[in-house]
Amino acid sequence: MGEQKKEYDNIPGTFVFDADRSSQGYHINMFCMSLLKAENRAEFKANEEKYLDKFPMTPEQREAVLKRQWNRMLELGGNIYFTAKLGATDGLSFQQVAAMMTGKTQEEYAQMMLDGGRNPDGNRYKSEWEGKK
């Protein structure tokens, strides 16, 4: 993204869905929202590449969808709640998708959340260039 750096861009593993990212991801999010309709889900599952032709996504967004690169979809402007529609179309729960995004099994992810989530120690800033006052 060519936008001005924001303080929250320095948080590891986090892609904040702000106005810039919303604009960037408009078409990927419209694709995901189209999956709310059963007929669209069926059409997508019958021929994913052809169905995606309806949405002028970037090649990177298209690849992320086809390869189910969940974190990459968010980086490219996908909204977590919209991309969850793709997971549901694949028969996945939100927890299963979240586990994949963290590199854990569903059971490991569930236990991590029951234990209070990820430990933030050492996971505050990507670099020293911003974020500290």
Burial class, 68, CB count within 10 angstroms (exposed 0-12 / middle 13-18 / buried 19+): middle
What integer pLDDT is reported at residue 133 of this predicted model?
44
Distance, C-alpha 36 to centroid of its chain: 17
**Does any domain span residue 27?**
yes
**Does any domain span residue 32?**
yes
CATH number at residue 78: 1.10.700.10
Supply the pTM of this predicted model. 0.80
**Does any domain span residue 77?**
yes
Residue 12: what residue type? P
**Does any domain span residue 19?**
yes
Q: State pLDDT tens for residues 42-76.
A: 999 999 999 999 999 999 999 999 999 999 999 99
**Does any domain span residue 132?**
no
Residue 97: what residue type? V
**Does any domain span residue 7?**
no
Question: How many domains would you assign to the chain?
Answer: 1
Task: Give the integer Cα–Cα distance in Å for 77 and 21.
Answer: 5
Q: What is the mean pLDDT of each run of 10 residues along the chain (133 residues)?
A: 66 74 90 97 98 97 97 93 95 93 90 83 55 47
**Host domain of residue 78:** 13-114
How far from 43 is each of 34, 40, 55, 83, CA to CA, in Å? 11, 5, 14, 17
**Does any domain span residue 21?**
yes
What integer pLDDT is reported at residue 129 of this predicted model?
45
**Does any domain span residue 4?**
no
